[in-house]
Amino acid sequence: MSLFNVYPLYDVTPVSAKDVYVYDDKGVEYLDLYGGHAVISIGHSHPKYVSAISNQVEKLGFYSNAIQNPLQVELADKLETSSGCKDYQLFLCNSGAEANENALKLASFHNGKTKILAFKNSFHGRTSAAVAATDNPKIVAPLNAQQEVDFVELGDLESVEIILKAGKTCAIIIECIQGVGGLDENTTEFYQGLEKLCKQHNTVLIADEVQSGFGRTGDFFAFQKHNITPDIISIAKGMGNGFPVGGILIHPSIKASFGLLGTTFGGNHLACTATLSVLDVIEKENLMQNASDISDYFQEKAKELPQLKSIKGRGLMLGLEFDFPISELRKQLIFKHHIFTGGAKNPNLIRILPPLTIQKKHIDSFFEALKLELEK
């Protein structure tokens, strides 16, 4: 059987990894500044994470959600403390797309409306709100034709108001820092304006923290900088450090009832164990503080590059924008300097999403390599 060929692949075959390094089948060491799309939060193969998952799988890897699972309760408590999101309720699933699908479905159940409002250049996974992170019409089209999506320019509160006034929009979904779309972020006034409009028009505000959450920005969630209280927060990626797990945090104003949401694998014992150990390591190793400190260092170093047009993002969710396409540069970084970076919808932008354990010496290596390539 052949693989369904949907991914253009780089010719590198990773076989093992440790902290910020990945090793290929020929023993070559790569510095990982991308973490497989912001998935690796506490570093590859962190010893505490490996032993927690190994111990759990020996005991019990999975049992059904119809039977009590104390690990889910422990995770909900720990997540409340780590995130500071008081009194939210936790529903666990398996990925970012699934988290957003559940969030959108729940919003629609909650207020009886069906339309979705999302922002241009946002990306919410291959969902009903699958959007403009690509110009490929197959991906832009909502998967569920019944759930119509309005796309609005980021920052345009007037258009948002006109759409919400029509009374059909169940939810606004937003990434407070756009990931795949290219790291744009708007003003606090805009995010607070959205929150106010949602309240006025009985619309659910969903913060998609799938990429920006779990400490990556130096805050636990990116929306926290703007002092808003989303009705639903979707999480995945860094949450499991590579173990497939996602979830939504649901504000107490939205009530649960039996059968409202459901999943076979979501919140299984291994997924809970992986996430609990991620939270534990983030706390014990002070990784949110590290994200802020290393971000400051990175941004200072970036200023030394005369070729740089702008630096975007915050924490360890960063973008370097040039005035030329960066695909060749990324290839040189991988194949000559053995450094993984990411691309974005904007062809001139390099995305940097390293493990939160990264240190200054790694940033130095990156800038040395980048300078050599830019000066050629």
Q: Which parts of this chain interact with ligand PLP (CB under 6 A)? A: 37, 95-97, 100, 123-125, 175, 179-180, 208, 210-211, 236
Closest residue by beta carbon to ligand PLP: 96
Shortest approach of ligand PLP to residue 244 CB, angstroms?
A: 8
Q: Which is nearer to ligand PLP, 211 or 275 (CB)?
A: 211
Task: For tokens 């780089």, name the residue.
Answer: 10
Shortest approach of ligand PLP to residue 199 CB, angstroms?
A: 24
Task: For tokens 């922002």, name the residue.
Answer: 119
> What is the 3-state secondary structure of 213-228?
CCCCCCCCCHHHHHCC
Q: Which is nearer to ligand PLP, 160 or 239 (CB)?
A: 239
Q: Which residues have a Cβ under 8 Å from the Cβ of 32 and sit 6 or more positions away?
A: 17, 20, 21, 22, 40, 44, 340, 354, 355
Q: Which is nearer to ligand PLP, 179 or 230 (CB)?
A: 179
Instruction: Count Cα atoms within 13 angstroms, Cβ side, for 9.
Output: 8
Shortest approach of ligand PLP to residue 170 CB, angstroms?
A: 18
Shortest approach of ligand PLP to residue 324 CB, angstroms?
A: 25
Q: Which is nearer to ligand PLP, 124 or 226 (CB)?
A: 124
| Cα torsion 212, 266, 282, 369: sign | negative
Q: Which is nearer to ligand PLP, 43 or 182 (CB)?
A: 182
Q: Which is nearer to ligand PLP, 100 or 295 (CB)?
A: 100
CB contact at 8 A, 96 and 236: yes
Shortest approach of ligand PLP to residue 35 CB, angstroms?
A: 12
User: What is the C-alpha separation between 146 and 160, in angstroms, rounded?
Assistant: 20
CA 201 to chain centre: 28
CB contact at 8 A, 349 and 252: no
Shortest approach of ligand PLP to residue 162 CB, angstroms?
A: 25
